[in-house]
A and B are shown apart, each in its own frame.
Chain A
Amino acid sequence: MKTKASRETPNLSRRDFVRASAALGAAAWASGASRIYAAGSDKIRIGVIGCGGRGTYDTTNCLNAAQNVELVAMGDLFGDRLDRCRKQLTKELGQKVKVTDETCFTGWDAHKKVLACELDLVILTEPPQFRPSHLRAAIEAGKHVFAEKPVAVDPVGVRSVIETSALADQKNLTIVAGTQSRRLAHLIEGMKRIHNGDIGQIVGGQCVRIGGGMLTWSEETKVRQPAWSDMEWQLRRWLFLTWLSGDFITEMHIHNLDKMNWAMDAHPVQCVGLGGRQVRTGPEYGDVYDHFAVEYEYPNGVRVEYMGAQMDKVTDRQDGRVVGTKGRAYTDSGNFVIEGDKPFKYDGPSPSPVIKQHADQIAAIRNGERLNEGKRVAESTLTCIMGRMSAYTGRAMKWDWAMNASKLDLSPAKYEFGDLPPRPVAMPGQTPLI
């Protein structure tokens, strides 16, 4: 599947380009792209900001998604993470990795230095806390952006991402979000049927993801090293710090909740959440919860219940279901099934969505097509964030309030290595709603 996707784009020849550009029409070109690319051949130079596991993975996929894509700059807060990523990418991708010591940057301003380089596209894969500010800097610097999900950890960040996405439109820059499920063939086909009314009017749904305590994540940072400041310890354990990851409902389960928004073709209008930290309680697990349940209400009073947990040795679940007046649709990791008046079961091909997302973006850049998923992924991110905020505080809340009025901003007083007391674990009924 991977090979199929990578073949698709390189084969886009000059002749295809002419056809494609004709199809786009004059209007698309009149608006102009910030840089005109010749079809399928012009080099795309990329930079990666955030050289962790996901950054390494996404960069690999991006470089393999089309011909003539090169990595020219890298940035990370930590030298050891950057070196490891560079070594692995060089080993696996050889000639496509054109970074030099001079285009590898570490420290708090590494992203600025990467963005100052001659490059077309940046991959943003730092902890989600940094996404709004890095996305803004990238768009202001005129770069196309591949941004991993989630794109923020708080409403202030979500609003920033939406503003920046509007700016990207003005500057004809593409933004692709790492909500890869949107490119899964079985979901695309299934969602089309839901939207066509094959299950009738939607009246409810469920979204369940339970299992995987992530206890073995980053074993090397489980024990705090003496030299690490509070800030460094938290950054290296970022997955478990709400201010950095948004908690797992945002950081990981955005995949699942994004599917519900997709199926409903809307974001929720209000929610009420419950949650807690029952098993994963050690200080190495920061302040995140290990389970959440949220009742989301979508337009027309349609309720979708989300249950999520990161716990080991429990009954694993990962499935979504949409219930209509004439049937219901069920999806799990590899299936899409509709029961009811118009039964359906997807049995077509399933190309890798993690390759396709990069191939789509590179093609859009080369063809000068609009491709901007910024607002959509910001809304999916806020869907998760409002669920977390409700669970943390015990307060029901409306989308409009979260989107427009909430002042929650989890950024620390200063971005510097030093003291940073761990934040208290949220207590419903006591943690204030901000």
Chain B
Amino acid sequence: MKNRARKETSELSRRDFIKTSAALGAAAWATGTSRMYAAGSDKIRVGLIGCGGRGTHDTGNCLNAAENVELVAMGDLFKDRLDSSRARLSKSAAGKVKVTDETCFVGWDAHKKVLALPNVDLVVLTTAPHFRPIHFKAAVEAGKHVFMEKPVAVDPVGVRSVIESSALAETKNLTILAGTQMRRIAHLMAGIERIHNGDIGEIVGGQCVRIGDGMTTWGPRERQAGWTDMEWQLRRWLFMTWLSGDFITEMHVHNLDIIDWAMGSHPVQCMGMGGRQVRTGAEFGDAYDHFTVEYEYPNGVRVEYMGAQIDRVSDRCDQWIVGTKGRAYLDFANAIIEGDKPFKYDGQAWNPEIRQHADQIAAIREGKKLNEGKRVAESTLTCIMGRMSAYTGRAMKWDWAMNASKLDLRPPKYEFGDLPMPPVAMPGQTQLI
């Protein structure tokens, strides 16, 4: 499947290009792109910002998604992470990794140095989500196309910034792609298309459940003697709400994004609960290990989310959309509709993680509009508002979270040094900001 996706794009020949550009029509070209690419052949030069596991994975996929894509620069806060990523990519995408010591940057301003390179066309943003709004803004201002991993913020201030930067990208004809890869899974595309066509009637409810895997073996468990508070928290970023947004945001955005997609809308309000029952050690920062959120979508349609990262429990990862004429079951491998118009996807599958990069590279080369910034920002806020409600015990409206919340989890300074661990949230005590 992976091969098929690769072929699709790499076989976009010059003749295909002429057809495609004709189909696009004059209007698309009149607006112009910041840089003109010849079809399927012009080199796309990629910079990677955030050289962790995900950054390495995404960059490998990006380099392999089309011909003539090269990695020319890398940036990370930590040299050890950058070095290991560079070594791995040099193997998995041999010949496509053109970085030199001079185009590898570490430290707090590594992203600026990558973005300052004029030959970088596209950046892959895979730092901890906390940094996404800042790096995204800098990338768009620098005129780069952006692939950014989900989630794209950890607080409403960040979400607003991402939406602004996405609008700016639009004016600069830059493509913005989000790592919410489920949007490109064949079976979900087919199933949700049927939901939108009314195959289950009017939607009246739904459930989104993802339970299992405590992630307790993730990352460095022991704090090393030389690490400051800041370094310790950064290296354990997954479990620091200010860095990851907590798991409801960091990981379960995949699931809640499916719900937003199926509903064709973001929620209008929510009420959440949660806690930290099992994963309570200091090495797990201030993140919760379970959440439940009742999301209310337009027309009073309620979707309940249950999420947990706890080991040795009954594993679940599924979505239900309930309609007046049937219901749809959606998970990462299946799309099944029961009811008046039954359906079971048994068509082709392809690798969405390759496809997302192939789509973006094709869009760049063809000068097509492709901007998922606002959409992924909304899915991110869907998660964030659920977390905020659970942390504080307060119901909240989307409009308030989007427009009025002042929650900003940025630390006073970005520098290695003292940084007390924020207290674990206590519903009824933690302030709603």
Contacts and interface: CB of A to CB of B under 8 A. Distances in A.
B135 interface: no
Nearest to A425: B277
A343 interface: no
B134 to A, nearest CB: 32
A279 B428 contact: yes
A312 B201 CA distance: 40
B209 A430 contact: no
B273 A323 contact: no
Contact of B395 (A213, A291, A315, A428): A315
B211 interface: yes
A315 B271 contact: yes
Interface string B297-334: 00010101010101111101000101011010000000
A394 B312 CA distance: 8
A305 B293 CA distance: 10
B275 A293 contact: no
Given A305-B294, A307-B292, A428 B428 contact: no
Contacts of A307: 271, 273, 292, 294, 304
Contact of B427 (A203, A309, A395): A309
Contacts of B60: none
A351 B273 CA distance: 35
A36 interface: no
A301 interface: yes
Interface residues of B, number: 42
A332 interface: no
A144 interface: no
Contacts of B277: 275-278, 427-428
Contact of B306 (A213, A278, A293, A428): A293
Nearest to B207: A303
Contacts of A325: 201, 204, 324-325
Interface stretch (A154-162, A171-179, A204-212, A247-255): A204-212
B204 A204 contact: yes
B198 to A, nearest CB: 14
A291 B313 contact: no
B308 A274 contact: yes
A395 B314 contact: yes
A295 B205 CA distance: 13
B276 interface: yes
B394 interface: yes
Interface in A301-354: 301, 303, 305, 307, 309, 311-315, 317, 321, 323, 325-326, 328
B285 interface: no
Given A272-B211, A305-B304, A428-B278, A394 B324 contact: no
B205 A203 contact: yes
A293 B292 contact: yes
B280 to A, nearest CB: 9
Contacts of A204: 204-205, 322
Contacts of B276: 276, 278
A206 B300 CA distance: 12
B94 interface: no
A429 interface: yes
Contact of B304 (A210, A295, A317): A295
B395 A274 contact: no
Contacts of A275: 275, 277, 290
B214 interface: yes
A295 B312 contact: no
A396 interface: yes
B275 A278 contact: yes
Contacts of A309: 273, 393, 427
Interface string B202-219: 001101010100100000
* Residue of B201, B277, B313, B314 with highest tally of chain A CB at under 10 A: B277
Interface in A141-160: none
B214 to A, nearest CB: 7
A210 B273 contact: yes
A429 B310 contact: yes
Contacts of B428: 213, 279, 311-314
A200 interface: yes
A396 B314 contact: yes
B329 to A, nearest CB: 9
B313 A428 contact: yes
B271 A208 contact: yes
Contact of B313 (A276, A326, A429): A429
A347 to B, nearest CB: 22
B426 A394 contact: no
A272 B275 contact: no
A203 B204 contact: yes
Interface string B395-433: 100000000000000000000000000000011110000
A274 B292 contact: yes
Nearest to B393: A314
Given A394-B312, A429-B214, A272 B278 contact: no
Contacts of A305: 207, 294, 304, 306
Nearest to B389: A315
A429 B271 contact: no
B307 to A, nearest CB: 8
B306 A295 contact: yes
B262 to A, nearest CB: 15
23 contacts: A274-B292, A275-B277, A276-B276, A276-B289, A277-B275, A278-B276, A278-B427, A291-B273, A291-B274, A295-B207, A303-B322, A313-B393, A313-B428, A313-B429, A315-B271, A317-B271, A427-B277, A428-B277, A428-B278, A428-B310, A429-B278, A429-B312, A430-B312
6 smallest CB-CB distances across A and B, nearest first, come from A314-B393, A394-B313, A276-B275, A293-B292, A278-B275, A276-B277
Given A279-B426, A314-B394, A328-B204, 14 more contacts: A204-B204, A204-B205, A204-B322, A206-B304, A213-B428, A276-B276, A278-B427, A307-B292, A311-B427, A315-B394, A315-B395, A393-B313, A428-B290, A429-B214
Interface of B: 201, 204-205, 207, 209, 211, 214, 271, 273-278, 289-290, 292, 294, 300, 302, 304, 306, 308, 310-314, 316, 320, 322, 324-325, 327, 392-395, 426-429
